[in-house]
Amino acid sequence: MKRSCSSNALAAIRVAGAFAAALVVFSDFCDAGKTSAFVRKDDKALDMPLDSDVFRVPNGYNAPQQVHITQGDHDGSAVIVSWVTPDEPGSSLVLYGAFVNNLTFSAKGKVHRYKFYNYTSGYIHHCTIRNLKYDSRYYYAVGVGHALRMFWFTTPPKVGPDVPYTFGLIGDLGQSFDSNRTLTHYELNMHKGKTMLFVGDLSYADNYPNHDNVRWDTWGRFTERSAAYQPWIWTAGNHEIDFVPEIGETEPFKPYKNRYHVPYKASGSTSPFWYSIKRASAYIIVLASYSAYGKYTPQYKWLEAELPKVNRSETSWLIVLMHSPWYNSYNYHYMEGETMRVMYEPWFVKYKVDVVFAGHVHAYERSERISNVAYNIVNMECNPVPDQSAPVYITIGDGGNQEGLATNMTQPQPKYSAFREASFGHAIFDVKNRTHAYYAWHRNQDGYAVEADSMWFYNRFWQPMDESSASV
């Protein structure tokens, strides 16, 4: 898509013009980046109070709550169903079937609790249901024996390079009034995301005294209205670490790990914080910004072995999720993703990752296709350069959080930054076939969602052409 030059970017060119080498680099970009002029009235992100409608406990003794699903295997024919019962363990059975009044099948899960300082969780159930038919509606029920609650989901089509499929994208959601607007807009979006790619920072319970885990429960009840009906693909963020030695809590990620299961073993991972799934025409790799990723570490070895396994004739789109962005031109979390970028960016270019989604920065930003892999300490080539084998980097940490928007941006806007705006919102990545995907970011403008940034993606394996010639 064509974008006009902003004054910031022109200033950048003038500054760069003083250095001949830098000018060569910058002049390779055909278009200048844009800093949106949209200004929100309120950027505070106030939490919804405990008695809010979205946190209501379902009726009935021991009624299951916080119901959520995620993919349960590597290629989408299994689902992990999770829920919490408050009063007693109750049944870990999931009843399911193709007809609402005929739940023929059942599977039994496991139940456990955990303690966090002086908080004790409810009874957390996880049950994997397998061998589902592709592209099919299933109804399921949990709470057998007491208050039965029924939900449904649709399995993805069988994996294939041209299968159309629509992903939603939210990061740093939290449980503020803005979080509720983001989720509502996602639900109302005409393009209808079928699976949520969630890029980390879920509940922000850790901002409460003693990381009050009651706020993990309220978050689970708040998101149920979406996460019980479509899988949310989880990424761990810094607000999931919950490391508080002052009160004796020294096991990182304890609440997250207990509540949100992912199918990591199916992709040969040894940890729930990094794993992969195939879904429709996409291969999705989830990375852990807060687990070791240096050379020789388990995550490094896993990713090194994982990338060559991606078969673009089977899954044409290669998408990576992580929490901390590698390219970020806001004055928040500046360069926090840098050490991981140094480790893995050459692989992303080599294996032609289509797009990387990250959160963490409470704002929105989309990059050009750029890489910074030439730098080797001594050669001084430390500027990101246009690179058609490189992914587009998108920061979508603007779900609603609890700490307010990140409004302070580095100036001038770097040339590699195509579009940036500090507003809450969500995005949709709509795969059409092996060559084309339509991407759009929807800003939460007070009552309704506005498509504020969009782009046609050309697949890096099947059609590795410059997208700036595509019009939206």
Ligand X SMILES: *[C@@H]1O[C@H](CO)[C@@H](O)[C@H](O)[C@H]1NC(C)=O
180 binds ligand X per the rule CB under 6 A: yes
Q: From the CB of 309, what's the least distance to ligand X, in Å?
A: 9
Spatial contact of 451 and 439, defined as CB atoms under 8 Å apart = no
**Residue 126 vs 362, nearer CB to Fe ion:** 362
Q: Say which entry of ligand X, Fe ion, none residue 237 contacts (CB below 5 to 8 A, set by partner kind).
A: Fe ion
Phi, psi torsion values for 91, nearest 5 degrees: -90, 140
d(CA 168, CA 163): 16
Q: Say which entry of Fe ion, ligand X, none residue 52 contacts (CB below 5 to 8 A, set by partner kind).
A: ligand X
**Residue 16 vs 396, nearer CB to Fe ion:** 396
Q: Say which entry of ligand X, Fe ion, none residue 3 contacts (CB below 5 to 8 A, set by partner kind).
A: none
Positions of E strands within 93-203: 93-97, 105-108, 110-112, 115-116, 119-120, 123-129, 137-142, 149-154, 165-170, 195-198
Binding residues for ligand X restricted to 99-118, rule: CB under 6 A? 102, 104, 118
d(CA 67, CA 443): 27
**Residue 244 vs 374, nearer CB to ligand X:** 244
The site map against ligand X for 313-352 (x = CB under 6 A) is xx----------------x---------------------
Please give the residue ranges that form the binding site for Fe ion (CB under 5 A): 201, 237-238, 360
Provide the 3-class DSSP secondary structure of residue 271: coil
d(CA 150, CA 303): 38
Burial label, 105 (beta-carbon count in 10 A; 0-12, 13-18, 19+)? middle
Binding residues for ligand X restricted to 81-100, rule: CB under 6 A? 97-98
Positions of E strands within 352-445: 355-358, 364-367, 370-371, 385-386, 392-396, 417-421, 425-431, 436-445
**Residue 96 vs 256, nearer CB to ligand X:** 96
Q: From the CB of 50, what's the least distance to ligand X, in Å?
A: 11
Phi, psi torsion values for 206, nearest 5 degrees: -70, -10
Q: From the CB of 203, what's the least distance to ligand X, in Å?
A: 16
Strand partners, 392: 355
How many degrees, rounded to 5, is the angle at CA 266 between CA 139 and CA 263? 50
Tell me, what amino acid is at 262?
V
333 is catalytic: yes
End-to-end CA distance of the chain: 6
Tokens of 126: 């996880």
Q: Say which entry of Fe ion, ligand X, none residue 445 contacts (CB below 5 to 8 A, set by partner kind).
A: none
Phi, psi torsion values for 177, nearest 5 degrees: -60, -35
Catalytic residue of the set 185, 239, 333, 442? 333
The site map against ligand X for 52-71 (x = CB under 6 A) is xxx-----------------
**Residue 117 vs 300, nearer CB to ligand X:** 117
Q: From the CB of 20, what's the least distance to Fe ion, in Å?
A: 39
d(CA 164, CA 157): 9
Q: Considering only 51-59, 77-85, 270-278, 385-393, which stretch makes contact with ligand X by CB under 6 A? A: 51-59
d(CA 367, CA 217): 36
**Residue 104 vs 471, nearer CB to ligand X:** 104
158 binds ligand X per the rule CB under 6 A: no
Q: From the CB of 282, what's the least distance to ligand X, in Å?
A: 14
Please choose, from the candidates 307, 302, 457, the residue with its C-alpha nearest in 3D space to the C-alpha of residue 394: 457
Tokens of 226: 């979406």
Provide the 3-class DSSP secondary structure of residue 259: helix
Binding residues for ligand X restricted to 237-296, rule: CB under 6 A? none
**Site size for ligand X, by CB under 6 A?**
23
Q: From the CB of 215, what's the least distance to ligand X, in Å?
A: 13
Classify each residue of 264-298 as buried b or exposed e, where b means 16 or more C-beta atoms within 10 Å of its C-beta: bebbebebbbbbbbbbbbbbbbbbbbbbebeeeeb
Q: From the CB of 334, what's the least distance to ligand X, in Å?
A: 8
**Residue 258 vs 328, nearer CB to Fe ion:** 328
Q: Considering only 228-236, 321-329, 335-343, 431-439, which stretch makes contact with ligand X by CB under 6 A? A: 431-439
**Residue 201 vs 467, nearer CB to Fe ion:** 201
The site map against ligand X for 407-426 (x = CB under 6 A) is -x------------------
Q: From the CB of 339, what's the least distance to ligand X, in Å?
A: 20
Q: Say which entry of Fe ion, ligand X, none residue 238 contacts (CB below 5 to 8 A, set by partner kind).
A: Fe ion
Q: Say which entry of ligand X, Fe ion, none residue 360 contacts (CB below 5 to 8 A, set by partner kind).
A: Fe ion
Phi, psi torsion values for 184, nearest 5 degrees: -60, -45
Strand partners, 233: 197
Q: From the CB of 213, what's the least distance to ligand X, in Å?
A: 9
Which residues would be at the binding site for ligand X (CB under 6 A)?
A: 48, 52-54, 97-98, 102, 104, 118-119, 177, 180, 184, 210, 311, 313-314, 331, 408, 432-433, 435-436
Catalytic residue IDs: 333
